[in-house]
Chain A
Amino acid sequence: EAQVTQNPRYLITVTGKKLTVTCSQNMNHEYMSWYRQDPGLGLRQIYYSMNVEVTDKGDVPEGYKVSRKEKRNFPLILESPSPNQTSLYFCASSFALRGSGANVLTFGAGSRLTVL
């Protein structure tokens, strides 16, 4: 089954304790992205990756890091989490966002993170 898999789905942590949210896709997609969803703010892009070893900042990258060493994986790293990073996080992937056609994003099920 074609899917984007995120782990963990739920996590409660404390301020400053480094954590990683993993994301893996099995569709051979070039493009991957992380979003956070907050009440009244919709989905905002944190980082994205056009392909292996190619990553760039989205609209709200502060406090996050990413890496893309393999095509299928795109982990989101919070080096020193703070309470304002409490949110619902989604990983998404698609074929390359280029050219004509509305490339459809496939989303993971989400990771709800609480930072105390």
Chain B
Amino acid sequence: DQQVKQNSPSLSVQEGRISILNCDYTNSMFDYFLWYKKYPAEGPTFLISISSIKDKNEDGRFTVFLNKSAKHLSLHIVPSQPGDSAVYFCAARRRRIYPSGTYKYIFGTGTRLKVLA
């Protein structure tokens, strides 16, 4: 049961244009959503997060939008740069049933972004 889905395995965008990466989820109990970026031969690194009580969070060129009614979030990169070429994972956090008061992250399958110079 894939609770967090990234339906686009890859995306190509021209340098300077907007990149939009999408993520859909099925569990309404998620309370935080995060985006990680992964370069080849490196581990994922944190990019930006958003609480489920917000609908937008911005950090420089990166903005995450959350549409709770559609169970959809998106990451916008404006303007896109060649250095943004990487695999992007969205992740969602939910409370564990046990141990009580703890949480777990569920990751999507990733979208490979290629920014063309």
Interface on A for B, CB 8 Å cutoff? 4, 35, 40-45, 48, 50, 56, 58, 90, 92, 96-99, 102-110
Contacts and interface: CB of A to CB of B under 8 A. Distances in A.
30 contacts: A4-B43, A40-B109, A41-B109, A42-B4, A42-B6, A42-B108, A42-B109, A43-B44, A43-B89, A43-B107, A44-B107, A45-B104, A45-B105, A50-B102, A56-B99, A58-B104, A92-B43, A97-B93, A97-B102, A97-B104, A99-B101, A102-B34, A102-B49, A104-B34, A104-B49, A105-B105, A106-B46, A107-B36, A107-B44, A109-B42
A41 B108 CA distance: 8
B85 interface: no
A50 B116 CA distance: 42
B46 A105 contact: yes
Interface of B: 2, 4, 6, 32-34, 36, 41-46, 49, 51, 89, 91, 93, 99, 101-105, 107-110
A102 B43 contact: no
Nearest to A44: B107
B43 A108 contact: yes
Chain B binding surface, main DSSP class:
strand
Given A40-B109, A41-B109, A43-B89, A98 B43 contact: no
Contacts of B4: 42
A110 B32 contact: no
Given A4-B43, A98-B102, A42 B49 contact: no
B83 to A, nearest CB: 18
Contacts of A108: 43
Contacts of A98: 101-103
Contacts of A48: 104
B43 A110 contact: yes
B34 to A, nearest CB: 6
Contact of A104 (B33, B46, B99, B108): B46
Contacts of A40: 109
